[in-house]
Amino acid sequence: MNKSGQTTGIIFTDDKQFIPALTGIRAIAVYFIFFKHLNFFSPETQPGLYLFVNQFYTFLTFFFVLSGFLIYYKYHGISTLNKTKLYNYFINRISRVFPILIILISITFFLGYYHGLYSGRQAIKLYFLNISLLKGFSSEYFLTGIGPSWSMSVEELFYLLSPLIFLFIKKISGLVKFVILFYMLGIAITYLFSLHPSGGFFSDHFFMMNYTFFGRVFEFACGIYLAMLVKGKVKPLFVPCGGKTILYAGLLIVALSVTALFFIAVNNNLRHATDILPGILINNLLMPVGIVFIFYSLIYQKSHLQQFLSGKLMVALGNSTYSFYLLHTSFMLSYIFKFTGRNILLAFILMIIISFIFYKTVEQPLAVLIRKKLSKK
């Protein structure tokens, strides 16, 4: 129960507050992204269905909002800039993200070099850009290596800046200023790179708005706002409704956002609606609002959806989504297709199983080991 006596989906343990439904929903979001990348439908014979599913990239927004929420919810204390808290925070983030990222990128480029996809010098250059996550700032390189890992550049910049962001954000006005500031910084950086173009870095404003933290900042801000609301640090900007009204409103906004992106793509003969400004506005500004409503409902209101996403199976699948996300377009998919004859549904099921095994045997043990060895008390 929260202070108002409202039922919550938060589980209190000895060392943390866990919201299982927000872990479970990660699995749903990443599975939508899987089917965007491995579209069931043919662009030639089923163009409408193909184009609709092709807009499922918008479900990445769930992860950006969730990151904003979870980092503030769990680590807002780093705003004190206490050295031990900062050190442990960065160890936690590094142990969570980099071990399997480095392993999988290393395997990817070794196999690429072995099979003659890259020359030695090219492999070294691309390997560095991928390992450092600098590729995420370049329209020329952002899809190299493990393509979807460009989004980790967005996430990692947020993790790096979070202590300073939380230091200055105390009220809603601070959150608004934070969003405006980073939009302005993104525009300024893009302008500077336009004067001296290099390697596709900040190549244009559309790239900046779609693929960098500077353009996706509002999504993180929405998550931060929700965490501040849950922590009781701000008042709600919307009236919390009884029943499941907020959940239905959130689901409706998400459905309308995906539908609007589809029609924008159709009417402008585009593969991705976010190639033009109206699509960017829907993806980056409207979609996050619907997600905040859904998350609020999953935290505070009992529903069949909350119950389903909080179940042991969905939480287990949600925990393995990072492994799934990195593996689902990698060399692992190539090997799966080799033995399944490009059966997408079978590949999907096998990828879930392989990702879960990888999480249990590699991702989780490495993260625990690094935290145990390097964290300070």
pLDDT at 176 over 50: yes
For the chain, percent of residues with pLDDT exceeding 90: 87
* Burial status of residue 69 (CB atoms within 10 A of its CB: 0-12, 13-18, 19 or more): buried
CB 104 within 8 A of CB 330: yes
Instruction: Give the pLDDT of residue 3.
Output: 43
Question: Could you say which DSSP state residue 241 is in?
Answer: P
Q: Is the pTM of this model over 0.85?
A: yes
Query: Cβ distance 326 to 354 under 8 Å?
Result: no
Closest CA to 318 of 37, 1, 30: 30
User: Averaged over 141-149, what is the pLDDT?
Assistant: 96
Q: How many CB atoms lie within 10 A of CB 88?
A: 18
Q: Tell me, what's the pLDDT at 156?
A: 97
Single-letter amino acid code for the residue at 154: V
User: Can you tell me which residue has the tokens 């409202």?
Assistant: 6
Gap between the Cα atoms of 162 and 86, Å rounded: 10
| DSSP tag of 284 | I
Residue 201 pairs in a beta bridge with 138
User: Do 20 and 310 form a contact (C-beta atoms < 8 A)?
Assistant: yes
Q: What is the pLDDT of residue 220?
A: 98
Phi (first) and psi of residue 356, to 5 degrees: -65, -45
**81 pLDDT band (50/70/90 cuts)?**
confident
Sign of CA dihedral 130, 115, 34, 205: positive
pLDDT digits (tens, 9 = 90+) for 328-368: 999 999 999 998 888 999 999 999 999 999 999 999 999 99
What element of type H or E holds 18?
strand 17-18
Supply φ then ψ for residue 11, to 5 degrees: -105, 125
Q: What is the pLDDT of residue 237?
A: 79
Residue 238, pLDDT > 60, answer yes
| Mean of pLDDT values over 237-265 | 90
Q: How far apart are CA 303 and CA 243, in angstroms?
A: 9
| Contact between 45 and 202 (Cβ < 8 Å) | no
- Among the listed residues 11, 17, 20, the one whose alpha carbon sits nearest the alpha carbon of residue 298: 20
> Hey, is 271 helix, strand or coil?
coil
The residue-averaged pLDDT of 309-316 equals 97
C-beta separation of 253 from 289 below 8 A:
yes
* For the chain, the helix, strand and coil percentages under 3-state DSSP, each to the nearest 5: 75, 0, 25
The pLDDT of residue 122? 92
- Determine the pLDDT at residue 65: 98
* Residue 18 pLDDT: 83
| pLDDT at residue 53 is higher than 70 | yes
Q: How many CB atoms lie within 10 A of CB 302?
A: 13
Give the per-residue pLDDT at 15: 44
- pLDDT at residue 8 in the model: 65
Helices (H), 200-244: 205-211, 213-230
Instruction: Decide: 63 and 213 in contact? Cβ < 8 Å.
Output: no
Mean pLDDT of the chain: 93
Q: Which band of pLDDT confidence, cut at 50, 70 and 90, is reported for residue 239?
A: low
Amino acid 302: pLDDT: 93
List, in sequence order, every residue forming a beta bridge with 17; answer none if it has no partner: 12
Q: What are phi and psi of 193, to 5 degrees?
A: -70, -25
CA distance linking residue 69 with residue 219, whole number of Å: 10
Report pLDDT for 80: 84
Between CA 337 and CA 335 the distance in angstroms is 5
pLDDT band per the 50, 70, 90 thresholds, residue 4: very low
* pLDDT tens readout for residues 101-130: 999 999 999 999 999 988 889 999 999 999
Mapping DSSP onto H, E and C, the string for 309-345 reads: HCCHHHHHHHHCHHHHHHHCCCHHHHHHHHHHCCCHH
